[in-house]
Amino acid sequence: MKISIITVVYNNEATISSAIESVLAQTYTNLEYIIVDGGSTDGTIERIRSYADRIDILISEPDKGMYDAMNKGLAKATGDVICILNSDDLYPHAHIIEQVVKEFDRTGCDAVYGDLVYVTCTDVDCVTRYWKSGSCSSESFKYGWMPPHPAFFVKKSVYDRYGHFNTKLKSAADYELMLRFAYKNKINLSYIPQVLVKMRTGGLSNFSLRNRLMANREDRAAWQLNGLKPYVFTFYLKPLRKVVQYFQRPEPDSRILIKRFVYIRIFR
């Protein structure tokens, strides 16, 4: 099974190297690594090019935003399974892709997902929030559930059948894509109860209350675009699930070291 990993980046010189190195450290060898840079001006592209001999495809040109960049990567990907790892994210250990592939082989599913932890920008071992996905059905979307997108690994055939990211959405295109795949079209999901990705704090939809409200409006649009009807309480439960994540802890075997919670900022 060939795995395509896509990293999109724009002016992120500070963390792009750790994202790249976490991919290059993977023990699974049948990898295709694609980096899509939006025309960075801060030294990011120079850092990327220092790994040029181990990057299969590098695109560096202006784009129309993060999801447009992801679509560029999807158009180039040739793997059986596609993973998207953003430039602020990293895999917590070298066996992540190996474990994901084993789960695809074991279950024959269309997509594998797992857990994610938010970490501080300065210390990737300092966990501030734990997104425990849990084993859920597609109907769980009506109860505000969704898997973390960076920990969502999908067969290329699913993208080919049901489409790429909808660039009309600015912050919820990943939610809309997973809603379209898992809820509307009922692809087969399999859950790995482990932390598969570390994400540095500061995501677009979580950065402020204003952005959280914008994301909520886009969540509603995601359902409307697909001709779907959620429950009245669906959009209230979704942000409430985020609150719970500040009080959860990774399982002991997840290989994540928790030093302490540095802060709790609701909806961050």
Contacts of 113 (CB under 8 A, 6+ apart): 133, 147, 148, 151, 152, 153, 189, 190, 191, 192, 196
Residue 179 included in any domain? yes
Percent of the chain at pLDDT exceeding 70: 89
CATH number of residue 107's parent domain: 3.90.550.10
Nearest to 215 by CA among 173, 266, 262: 173
Please report which confidence band the pLDDT of residue 248 belongs to, taking 50, 70 and 90 as the band edges.
confident
Q: So what's the pLDDT on residue 62?
A: 96
Q: So what's the pLDDT on residue 256?
A: 38
Helix or strand run (H / E) with residue 9: strand 3-9
**Per-residue pLDDT reduced to its tens digit, 22-73:** 999 999 999 999 999 999 999 999 999 999 999 999 999 999 999 999 999 9
Please count the structural domains in the chain: 1
Residue 55 included in any domain? yes
Mean pLDDT score, 172-176: 96
Please report which confidence band the pLDDT of residue 137 belongs to, taking 50, 70 and 90 as the band edges.
confident
d(CA 23, CA 177): 24
Residue 260 included in any domain? no
Q: So what's the pLDDT on residue 164?
A: 98
Q: For residue 20, how many other CB atoms are within 10 A of its CB?
A: 24
Beta partners for 191?
Answer: 113
Residue 180 included in any domain? yes
Q: So what's the pLDDT on residue 242?
A: 82
**And the tokens for 183?**
């809820």
Please report which confidence band the pLDDT of residue 181 belongs to, taking 50, 70 and 90 as the band edges.
very high
Confidence (pTM)? 0.88
Q: So what's the pLDDT on residue 246?
A: 79
Strands 152-155 and 81-84: antiparallel
C-beta pairs of 261-268 under 8 Å, 24+ apart in sequence: 261/127, 261/128, 262/120, 262/126, 262/128, 263/128, 264/128, 266/242, 267/206, 267/209, 267/212, 267/239, 267/242, 267/243, 268/201, 268/206, 268/207
User: At residue 266, does pLDDT exceed 50?
Assistant: no
Residue 259 included in any domain? no
Quote the domain boundaries for residue 42.
3-254
Residue 216 included in any domain? yes
User: At residue 265, does pLDDT exceed 50?
Assistant: no
Mean pLDDT score, 199-227: 78
d(CA 34, CA 11): 17
**Per-residue pLDDT reduced to its tens digit, 65-113:** 999 999 999 999 999 999 999 999 999 999 999 999 999 999 999 999 9
Residue written as tokens 């070291």? 257
User: At residue 207, does pLDDT exceed 70?
Assistant: no
Residue 219 included in any domain? yes
Residue 20 included in any domain? yes
Range picked from 196-210, 217-231, 242-256 for highest mean pLDDT: 217-231
Q: So what's the pLDDT on residue 257?
A: 39
Look at 51-55, 138-142, 150-154 and tell me which has the smallest mean pLDDT: 138-142
Average pLDDT score over the chain: 89
Mean pLDDT score, 124-131: 93
